[in-house]
Amino acid sequence: MKVLVTGGAGFIGGHLAQQFVRDGYNVTTLDNLDPFYDTEIKNHTIEQCRRSASTGHGTYEFIEGNVTDEDLITDLVADADLVYHQAAKAGVRPSVKNPREYDEVNVDGTLNILDAARDTDCTRVIFASSSSVYGKPQYLPYDEEHPTTPISPYGASKLAAERYACVYNEVYDLPIVGLRYFTVYGPRMRPNMAISNFVSRCHASEPPIIYGDGTQTRDFTYIEDIVAANQTLLQSDSADGKVLNIGSTDNISITGLAEVIRDQINTDLELVYDDARQADAEHTHASVEKAADLIGYSPSYTIKEGVMEFVDWYRENRDWYEPLVRSS
């Protein structure tokens, strides 16, 4: 089976591609190597995927290109049995400065994928949505029936892409599954995220910096749980036409997160607080009952367990990864 992973050199897409190769699939990845963060991390991901392919299970091909390239997308999707559309312009705060760029990549790029898949025998398009589509909570945890009122251009672009996918399922009978990820973290994660920043600063004997009063809460999801949810959809059609939350069923305050990381690395450090950042959500927390019912999703990691795993990985990979975090 041939699997196309867009955004396949990125954090989530790279982990999916590597696992699919290990599972014996023939994987093509597309990525434009956007320097939103240091591309050395993406190059490291590509190399890890190539090493997995060299063991003789599945095959791996990397193509540098953009989902906004309609002709390229048409050709790649035509040659794929399954499409995992993970490519997106990331970042809530940067989207406030340049919303049109997020529309071009996240909405028009997704439409290119959907148009190409509609005209082929593609079995299924699994696409990455985001908890950012919910915006301000009317209740927690979020279930999929919660109103979607995003508060950032990034969230709006992800919701628009999601709505288009559902329309293509309804009108053109294109099998799609949308996964609303809740703040994913783990090995090779983006270096400009709270967890990676906290870990880096603590290792350097510098206090974690918390933006806002620290009472904000997040549902952080460990990358292995994200991969497991996506693996299920390689064969299962039980969620076709649906959008599902993929989270940890757990949440933690930002102060609590900083304390967990600080206490693992350097208990002598004090926490430091700074001004809140624009367009950040106050709270996120996922209900995953729908994903449990439809695809048997059951997250394996609590936030504290996942953070401990990441800290261990960070220590083992500190030589190459930490300089990239520090420069972000």
Residue 205, phi-psi category: left (phi > 0), alpha (psi -120 to 50), beta (remainder): left
Q: Is the CB of residue 150 less than 8 Å from the CB of residue 135? A: yes
Biggest distance spanned by C-alpha atoms of the chain: 60
Q: Is the CB of residue 169 less than 8 Å from the CB of residue 231? A: no
Angle, vertex CA 193, rays to CA 89 and CA 154, nearest 5: 30
Q: Which residues are catalytic, by number?
A: 154
Based on its alpha-carbon atoms, the radius of gyration of the chain, rounded to whole angstroms, reads: 19
User: What tokens were used for 110?
Assistant: 């997704």
Using CA of residue 43, residue 48, residue 51, residue 52, what is the dihedral sign? Answer: negative
